[in-house]
Chain A
Amino acid sequence: MQTYKAPLRDMRFVLHELHGGAPNLPAELTDSILDAAAKLATDVLAPLNMSGDVAGCRLENGVVRTPAGFREAYAIFRDGGWTASSCDPRFGGQGLPESLGKLVEEMICSANLSFGMYPGLSFGAYRAIAQHGSAALQDRYLAKLVDGTWAGTMCLTEPQCGTDLGLLRTRAVPQPDGSHRITGNKIFISAGEHDLTENIIHLVLARLPDAPAGIKGISLFLVPKFLPDADGSPGVRNGMVCTAIEHKMGIRASATCQLSFDAATGFLVGMPHKGMTAMFTMMNSARLAVGIQGLGIAEASYQGAVAYARERLAGRALGGAQCPDLPADPIIVHPDVRRMLLTMRAYTEGCRALGGWVAQRIDAGDEEFAALMTPIVKALFSDLGYETASLGMQVYGGHGYIRDHGMEQYVRDARIAMIYEGTNGVQAMDLVGRKLPAHAGRLLRGFFHPVSSYIAAQAEHPQLGAMAAALGRAFGALQLATAQIAAKGMADPEEAGAAATDYLRLFGLVALGFVWLRSAEVALAKLPAADGDAGFYQAKLTTARFYMERILPQTAGLFAAIKAGKGSMMELPAAAF
């Protein structure tokens, strides 16, 4: 059995105490929203997580059936207005700021990652139409995407192309009435077909007849499953069909579809041949969302692991029995179990705090900071989500490997986040290849400056000085690694490519170190007057110290690996592998 309780205390800490609250929303309102989302996640979504995983989706005569209970849960979700939560009030949305919206997203991901895919994809489609669609398309489609009556998808991948979309072949032929006929095959389309909504709005990348070759010749089209009638209700069935659904390792209740478009009617979104620009606005927010998926799974797995470690009896504490009246001590007394639990906790709370910082900067309109941190949030959070889920399984031993407790589901569900929306290798290349050199390193300074001045400010602090010193060493390594990549990578791009993944992790660990130091500072200040909350702040301080002493030193190893360069990596001939 999986159990999930929304970590509302820590969420409030991140939102209010660490980052100063959500813009224009009083604390009592954000708390009511978080409470309501928590109730929905725990009471409605979480109970369907394991049953949805076991049942999976079924394809019957071109129709996809979601697992039992998903339709009812979606109705509650939609009627509660949650599909509209982050959408613009101009289109009927609730306009929640990112700093609140990301916390709501996390709860949904913790409770039921598969379920979250459906509204998640709709939001991506909403975003592309809201930013790039014509007024006519917005009038016709946005209201129903926002209120959840209809769902959406993003159709990028084809059998011969994934990461390199320049290879895509789906064709769009202009029609006299201004519409287009879309023909081609798409694969890996999340929520591509399902029974949750009366209509599905596909956003499809395709080539116009006069398109230049490669990535510069791709346009974006809106292709509805049912063409809306004059009154806006679903009318004629459009020319696309779901030919298969994938059998996957995880997120089995999310329908991953193969879609075949055969002269389907579509409408151009944005300018001809500028589809990638439109797609990228969608992709950046989707990448942050995938990072939050990693965080959500990490939290759920951590909760499961703690509950088990408290009750599972095995062996005696090394320093002497702690529960002599029991036949053995609970495993939470053992140092190695504590290593796992504290690692999980440090990653989870650290990612929540870091995600909160990024969300706060996005709310403040700091697009450059968002651009820099997007690959880090996506890759770091999803890597750590998977590592955390794996530790969660380890705490359970054999009982984690079998299905009964649901711990192995977290491992399987977490794994996809490292792959989709650009693999984590692609994220690392985005960081070193695009974000570091952009504007002569200006993006980078948006992170380096606050971190270095904060470390300096805490250096003499009687309680935090040691932590600040540890962070200072790691930050020094990050600066040196950055300089090396800038110097060597300029002359030889393979050097930058060889360093990318280690560099992203190094960057991410320093970023987590920064938010942990800040968390420790806040906790220390609140502790004297904390009363019933003292335990919470004390745990923050201890976890911060664990992070600095036991996790952050990994940066030294990463730095050494980056410094070694590409030599051994590129030397071996392909045939020798």
Chain B
Amino acid sequence: MKVLVPVKRVVDYNVKVRVRSDGTGVETAGVKMSMNPFDEIAVEEAIRLKEKGVVSEIIAVSLGVAACAETIRTALAMGADRGILVETDAELQPLAVAKLLRALAEREQPRLMILGKQAIDDDMNATGQMLAALLGWSQGTFASKITIDGDTATVTREVDGGLETVALTMPAIITTDLRLNEPRYASLPNIMKARKKPIETVRPADLGVDPAPRLKTLRVVEPPKRQAGAKVASVAELVAKLRTEAKVI
């Protein structure tokens, strides 16, 4: 079984993100970029399924600027077999990504696609769901456990009330939550070997997709600075303040 894993290049989770002075977005020049952590979990899960003999080939896909090839290399170093880069300088939004991925799914015919539930840059949490709708596939989002048995994927989902287990008929879309697994450290020999694994580059036009944005960003601002706290003398005063000033009780 073939599995396709999209991996997104995002600002590294350790970086303190700064808004560009003109308010058009966040500063990415000279900033360390890495694979979206949820996507790392998706790659890890695909590798584990391959190690169990369930999956035969893992294709890592990234969409965006040429440097996204580095993110694909990271996936290849972890254990993916080959990569596809959909190269474009255009701003990509979830619907465009979903359409591009649908085109790739139709071409590659995977039985399973594992995606991060969201990317840590825009926190959209939309691509997986849109992709499932476009393809008409089953979907299991926020997965914390995945078992594949024949044509059925059993997915334990993290929902507000606890855990929900669903059985999906393949082909299926699964999006990963944090507790699904702990991604492995890329080994030095695999980093060296990843260089020799193929990465194919295609453009959105090759896939017949117009990636033009449908949403317009009006303004990006820093969150308001946290105000200094105040000390209260008694519990009564605290309760009074919560009631009259904070108005939370």
Contacts and interface: CB of A to CB of B under 8 A. Distances in A.
A94 B29 contact: no
A29 B70 CA distance: 9
A39 B32 CA distance: 13
A26 B194 CA distance: 13
Nearest to A96: B188
B169 interface: no
B188 A82 contact: yes
Q: Is the interface of A mostly helix, strand, loop or mixed?
A: helix
A16 to B, nearest CB: 15
Interface in B1-55: 14, 27, 29-32, 34
Contacts of B77: 32, 36
B230 interface: no
Interface residues of B, number: 21
Nearest to B195: A29
Contacts of B32: 8
Interface string A70-98: 00000010011110110000000010100
A249 to B, nearest CB: 32
Interface of B: 14, 27, 29-32, 34, 70, 73-74, 77, 185-192, 194-195
Given A8-B32, A531-B30, A533-B30, A33 B188 contact: yes
A532 interface: yes
A29 B191 contact: yes
Given A5-B14, A32-B74, A36-B77, A79 B187 contact: yes
A80 B188 contact: yes
B229 to A, nearest CB: 15
A39 B195 contact: no
B14 A94 contact: no
A79 B185 CA distance: 9
B30 A36 contact: no
A36 B192 contact: no
A40 interface: yes
How large, as a class, is the contact surface on chain A? 20 to 34
A303 B131 CA distance: 45
B185 A94 contact: no
A44 interface: yes
Interface in A30-66: 31-33, 35-36, 39-40, 43-44
A80 B185 contact: yes
Nearest to A29: B195
A28 interface: yes
A532 B188 contact: no
A40 B30 contact: no
B192 A29 contact: yes
B40 to A, nearest CB: 11
Contact of A28 (B34, B70, B186, B189): B70
Q: Which 3 A-B pairs have the closest CB atoms?
A: A532-B30, A532-B29, A81-B188
Interface in A531-550: 531-533, 536
A79 B187 CA distance: 7
A85 B186 CA distance: 13
A81 B189 contact: yes
Contacts of B186: 32, 36, 80
Contacts, number: 55
14 contacts: A5-B14, A31-B70, A32-B74, A32-B77, A33-B191, A35-B34, A39-B185, A76-B185, A80-B185, A81-B189, A82-B188, A94-B188, A533-B29, A536-B30
A33 B189 CA distance: 10
A369 to B, nearest CB: 28
A533 B32 CA distance: 11
Contacts of A8: 32
Contacts of A536: 30
A5 B14 CA distance: 10
A532 B192 contact: no
B73 A28 contact: yes
Contact of A81 (B14, B27, B70, B187): B187
Contacts of A532: 27, 29-31
A323 B140 CA distance: 52
Nearest to B30: A532
B233 to A, nearest CB: 21
B29 A531 contact: yes
Contacts of B192: 29, 94
Contacts of B190: 81
B47 to A, nearest CB: 14
Nearest to B69: A28
A67 to B, nearest CB: 21
A115 to B, nearest CB: 15
A43 B183 CA distance: 12
A94 B190 CA distance: 10
Contacts of B31: 532
Nearest to A37: B188
Contacts of A26: 195
Nearest to B188: A81
A429 B32 CA distance: 45
A10 to B, nearest CB: 13
Interface string A12-27: 0000000000000010
Contacts of A43: 185
Contacts of A36: 77, 185-186, 188, 191
A33 to B, nearest CB: 6
Nearest to B185: A80
A94 B189 contact: yes
A94 B188 CA distance: 8
Which of A5, A26, A31, A94 has the most B CB atoms < 10 Å from its CB?
A94
A80 B34 CA distance: 19
A81 B187 CA distance: 6
Given A29-B191, A81-B188, A532-B30, 11 more contacts: A32-B194, A33-B191, A43-B185, A79-B187, A81-B189, A81-B190, A82-B188, A84-B189, A94-B192, A531-B29, A532-B27
B188 A85 contact: yes
A35 B194 CA distance: 15
Interface string A390-433: 00000000000000000000000000000000000000000000
Interface string A463-505: 0000000000000000000000000000000000000000000
A110 to B, nearest CB: 16
Nearest to B67: A28
A119 to B, nearest CB: 12
Contacts of B27: 532
Contacts of B195: 26, 29
A26 B32 CA distance: 19
Nearest to A85: B188
A32 B70 contact: yes
A44 B14 contact: no
A536 B74 CA distance: 26
A391 to B, nearest CB: 26
A79 B70 CA distance: 23
Nearest to A79: B187
B14 to A, nearest CB: 7
Nearest to A77: B185
